[in-house]
Amino acid sequence: MEKLTFILIVLPFLSAIFCYITPYRKIRSSIVMATAFLLIMSSLMLIRITPFSFSPITVLGADIHHIVLILDFLILFLIFYFGIKHHHLLIIIFAILQIVLLGYLEYFMIKEQTVSPIFYCDSLSLIMILIISIVGSIICIQSIPYMKNHEEHLGLRISREPRFFGVMLLFLGAMNGLVLSNDLLFLYFFFEITTLCSFLLIGHDNTERTIRNAVRALWMNSLGGALFIIALVILNSQIGALDMQKIIHTPKAGLWFLPIALLCFAAFTKSAQFPFQSWLLGAMVAPTPVSALLHSSTMVKIGVYLVLRLGPAIQGTFLTHCVAIFGAFTFLAAAALAVGQSNGKKVLAYSTISNLGLIFACAGINSSAAITAGILLIIFHAITKALLFLCVGVIEQHIESRDIEDMRGLYSKMPVTALITVIGVITMIMPPFGLLLGKWMAIEAASRNIIVIIVLALGSALTVMYWARWAGILMSDPFAGKFKTEKQPILTWVSLVSLCLGATLLSMISPWLYSWMIIPIFNEKYLQSYIVTRGILENPSGSFAVIPLSILALIGFFVSVLAVRKALRARVVPPYLSGVQLSEPGTFLGPMNQPVKAEAKNYYLSSIFGEQRLTIWVNLVAMVLITMLIGGAL
């Protein structure tokens, strides 16, 4: 137990240091691979010993509280330094505020450090650790070939890879620490590390634009940190301990909801919910594996984890209702904004914000079915989003564009990547895959809440729109003859294929995933939501036949594949262009006997869904909703 948590939390820190000081790529890659392997193995071994809790006294021979405290101040001063370096007033203010409050909390308020246990692992933590350690590790592995390409493309004289891999591994360690912490001061410490890591990773390429976006991420997340520490100060004075389990189990009458509302607010900034979406959108200037990491298994998942964790404390309150409405609104608004985008990475970013909104909505509805939906969405969103980001990264390095329009007919250039991307999109929006299972549960669980359900219905339709058109054009003609697998580094194939299998196969065993992982979460506050019989998830009001549907989908898939094989032998005709076709593809004989090139582009409906049109209103509504949330808790 101690050993496993040591590997999951401390080992990445040590590996990060080694990565940082190693000048040789080969050694660095080996360290990354070895750490990834160890993380995956120990996270899997953790399944057998969950639930557990323990309080280590020392780490690496030193008092753990002292280490955390010293590092905490170190991080805050680093953030303060970056604030001064980049002349950003807000960062400076938030950093000073946090330093003062942390000092006050540590030296004046906390009499004795008796939070016990420091680490606590239940099924929710376990699920998060599995996501972080497995998906995160796969992303780190794909970063090895990606960064090599990336640096060759930039033509750097001095490699910045040591720093990059160091921070990536640090991030994974911090995330594991965060989801295991029961002591809120520890949680806060890891929370701040992720803020710093995301700042360093977004600004990795060290150009003017990346630094600007990194600084934006830093101030927004520092705001989250400041809210967090304010909440801690209030909580400590109120219940006298910074113990997550104690807070959750404090009777509602004895709890003032303001600190909880502040923690929710901090969670929104971390998860890039409106009006803080711009830091996540700006994060796409970083190398693509960074986006994959931020969007899937780390960073943005902190927010939803935190609210799900706090769920029992706010069940049945006005606060939880506000979170549900806020989440549903984000789900809809981000989906609408995604419709207006042709930049592939931006579509992915808005889709992340949208999905997180849905998870917040689930956490806010706060019934056991909704919590189940939220957890399933976290799992499958992490896998699929990591897959899609890595795909877009590979595509971008190949065609040197991330615009969806430039991906027309990608199948003829890189068939396997195009196919994997299409599979990724399909797992996003179609039954019987996990994300749709989650969405189904979410809608059924929200059906008693009239505002939330209408918003979810609209958002769900918009979601289909922006995914379907992307999948469609990847496969558009012309077909360039025979199927030939494109050349990619072996590590790229390993990571893409493993994520692809994860997204599809794991969906098919989701009923068992539910039995093993999610059922242990239920207790007297959350009664069991679904029962599983023969691969069918069922409750009194609905049923989702995962296994039968998967079998039918597989049959349909194979029949369709056979149809493609037959179609490959069929006569190929040019697309209809309403005129005499010329030998050049897509060209017809137009007026005055002149050749005309037929062209069509996607509808992006920017007059309705454009960023410039919507963003300001969306931010305004989000601010109103957050004000409502804070005000309601006062």
Which residues lie near another protein (CB under 8 A)?
408-409, 411, 429-431, 436, 440, 443-444, 447-448, 450, 453-454, 456-458, 460-462, 464-465, 468-469, 471-473, 475-479, 540-545, 549, 552, 555-557, 559-561, 563-564, 566-568, 570-578, 585-586, 598-603
Placement of tokens 């801690």 in the chain: 232
Note whether 420 and 394 are within 8 A (CB): no
Shorter beta-carbon distance to another protein: residue 295 or 321: 321
Q: Which is nearer to another protein, 100 or 527 (CB)?
A: 527
Distance between CA atoms of 290 and 6, rounded to whole angstroms? 25
Residue 100's CB is within 10 A of a number of other CB atoms, namely: 12
- CB 425 within 8 Å of CB 470: yes
* Strand residue runs (E) in 223-287: none
Is the Cβ of residue 257 or residue 588 nearer to another protein in the bound state? 588
CA-CA-CA-CA torsion sign (379, 381, 385, 387)? positive
Match 């939880």 to its residue by tokens.
320
Residue 181 pairs in a beta bridge with 119
Q: For the beta carbon of residue 84, count every other beta carbon within 10 angstroms.
A: 12
* CB-nearer residue toward another protein: 57 or 564: 564
Cβ at position 437, least distance to another protein in Å: 10
Instruction: Decide whether 24 or 576 has the Cβ nearer to another protein.
Output: 576
DSSP H helices in 366-401: 368-399
367, exposed or middle or buried, with CB in 10 Å at 0-12, 13-18, 19+?
Answer: middle
**Residue (285 or 391) nearer to another protein, CB:** 391
Instruction: Quote the least distance from Cβ 403 to another protein, whole Å.
Output: 16
Q: How far is the CB of 436 from another protein (least distance, A)?
A: 6
Pair 467, 457: CB distance under 8 Å? no
- State the Cα–Cα distance between residues 209 and 202, nearest whole angstrom: 10
The DSSP 8-state label assigned to residue 398 in this structure reads: H
**Measured from the CB atom, is 11 or 410 closer to another protein?**
410
Nearer to another protein, 487 or 566 (CB): 566
Query: Contact 460/481 with Cβ under 8 angstroms?
Result: no
Spatial distance between the Cα atoms of 370 and 376, rounded to a whole number of angstroms: 10
CA distance 428 to 431: 9
The closest of 243, 229, 289, 361 to 625, measured between CA atoms, is 361
CB 126 within 8 A of CB 377: no
Give the span between the Cα atoms of 98 and 191, in whole angstroms. Answer: 13
- Using the minimum distance from each CB to another protein, give the nearer residue, 261 or 422: 422
Least CB distance to another protein at residue 546 (A): 10
CB of 150 to another protein, least distance (A): 31
Gap between the Cα atoms of 390 and 249, Å rounded: 41
CB of 203 vs another protein, minimal distance in Å: 38
- If the CB atoms of residues 401 and 543 are measured against another protein, the closer one turns out to be 543
C-alpha radius of gyration, the chain, whole number: 25
Three-class secondary structure of residue 505 per DSSP: helix
Looking at the Cβ atoms of 89 and 555, the one nearer to another protein is 555
Structure tokens at 410: 């990608």
Is residue 339 within 8 Å of 354, Cβ to Cβ?
no
Rounded Cα distance, 90 and 103, in Å? 20
Q: Which is nearer to another protein, 519 or 598 (CB)?
A: 598
Closest CA to 427 of 382, 397, 475: 382
DSSP state of 484: -
Least distance to another protein, CB of residue 504, Å = 15
The span from the CA of 344 to the CA of 401, in Å, is 9
Minimum gap (Å) between residue 367 Cβ and another protein: 15
Question: Residue 146 or 467: which CB sits closer to another protein?
Answer: 467
Taking CA 498 as the corner, what is the angle to CA 492 and CA 499, rounded to the nearest 5 degrees? 95
Q: Rounded distance, CA 358 to CA 370, Å?
A: 10
For 597, the token pair is 């090139």
Q: Which is nearer to another protein, 45 or 468 (CB)?
A: 468
CA angle 430, 435, 441 (to 5 degrees): 100
Least spacing, CB of residue 43 vs another protein, in Å = 32
Q: Closer to another protein by CB, 253 or 570: give it.
A: 570
> What is the nearest approach in angstroms of another protein to the Cβ of residue 397?
24
Amino acid, res. 67: I
Give the nearest distance from C-beta 612 to another protein in angstroms.
Answer: 19
Identify whether the C-beta of residue 625 lies closer than 8 Å to the C-beta of residue 333. no
**Distance in angstroms (rounded) separating the CA atoms of residues 146 and 492:** 8
Residue placing its CB nearer to another protein in the complex, 201 or 420: 420
